Amino acid sequence: MAKNKNWSAKVTRESFALDLEEGVFTWKNPKRIAKSLMQSALNSTRRKASPFQSAISMLNFYINRAGKNLKPDQKKVLEKAKEELRKIAT
């Protein structure tokens, strides 16, 4: 059971679809997070969806898996990053 305990952290670190910058989900600047996620998605040759869909999916995955362990202030930053991703994608 302990082996599977941190599977979501492993997915975030070793995502097959996107190569993420170190600590991207801990940054305090939503625009920087959005730009980094979108750049990772655009550079990926392994993603199965559009760059926007891949970036937003990774962000949602992190928010959902962090759950109650995600500090409210950081959750606000990540939710704002979603808005920034939408702006970039249009």
- Mind listing the pLDDT tens digit for each residue in 25-84? 999 999 999 999 999 999 988 888 899 999 999 999 999 988 889 999 999 999 999 999
* Contact between residue 44 and residue 58 where contact means Cβ atoms under 8 Å apart: no
* Contact between residue 77 and residue 36 where contact means Cβ atoms under 8 Å apart: no
- Mind listing the pLDDT tens digit for each residue in 69-87? 999 999 999 999 999 999 9
Give the model's pLDDT for residue 47.
81
Can you tell me the distance from the alpha carbon of 73 to that of 36, in angstroms, rounded to the nearest whole number? Answer: 20
For the chain, the distance separating the N- and C-terminal CA atoms, rounded to the nearest angstrom, is: 43
Can you tell me the distance from the alpha carbon of 60 to that of 77, in angstroms, rounded to the nearest whole number? Answer: 13
Give the model's pLDDT for residue 28.
98
Can you tell me the distance from the alpha carbon of 56 to that of 43, in angstroms, rounded to the nearest whole number? Answer: 15
Can you tell me the distance from the alpha carbon of 72 to that of 89, in angstroms, rounded to the nearest whole number? Answer: 26
